[in-house]
Amino acid sequence: MFCQNMAPRRAVNARNDNQPPPPPPPRTAEELNALLEERISAAIAQYEANRTQDSGGPSNTRRDGHGDSSRGNVAQGCTFKQFLDCKPMNYDGTGGAVAFVRWTEKTEATICMSKCTADQQVTFATGLLSMKL
């Protein structure tokens, strides 16, 4: 009732004119390959720096990439068995949208209780879907 006669909102321009424009995109395949190689090298260097910093140095990692748990470097998150111990509900695709929303809320609560990492959350929640197409 009171929203019918409201004027449309004017868009706010949040552009900051003090910043220089972004560089132009590469025009040739060679420029693109050079840019990709530069960015990938920087990302790999950053990953390696974070990995050695988190694990306490390269001597603290085993050949399979996992840290030595005897030195206190235990992986964060939880296992699938620990996640299932929180008794999450399976979703079978019946019940419509309301059942799906309730299942989503309960699954989010279960994930919060189990303290899973972000990649584990996706994997474990997907494991609860038992829809038959």
> What tens digit of pLDDT does each residue of 19-55 get?
777 777 778 888 888 888 888 988 888 888 888 776 6
Claim to verify: residue 79 and residue 44 sit in the same structural domain: no
Claim to verify: residue 53 and residue 86 sit in the same structural domain: no
Q: How far apart are CA 86 and CA 76, in angstroms?
A: 17
Claim to verify: residue 81 and residue 129 sit in the same structural domain: yes
Claim to verify: residue 80 and residue 108 sit in the same structural domain: yes
The answer to whether position 91 is within a domain reads: yes
Q: How far apart are CA 119 and CA 40, in angstroms?
A: 22
Claim to verify: residue 83 and residue 132 sit in the same structural domain: yes
Average pLDDT over residues 105-129: 81
Distance in Å from the first CA to the final CA of the chain: 44
pLDDT of 73 reads 45
The answer to whether position 51 is within a domain reads: yes
Question: Is pLDDT at 117 greater than 70 in this prediction?
Answer: yes
Domain count, the chain: 2
Task: Kindly report whether the global pTM for this prediction surpasses the value 0.75.
Answer: no
The answer to whether position 52 is within a domain reads: yes
Domain enclosing residue 45, as ranges:
28-58
The answer to whether position 102 is within a domain reads: yes
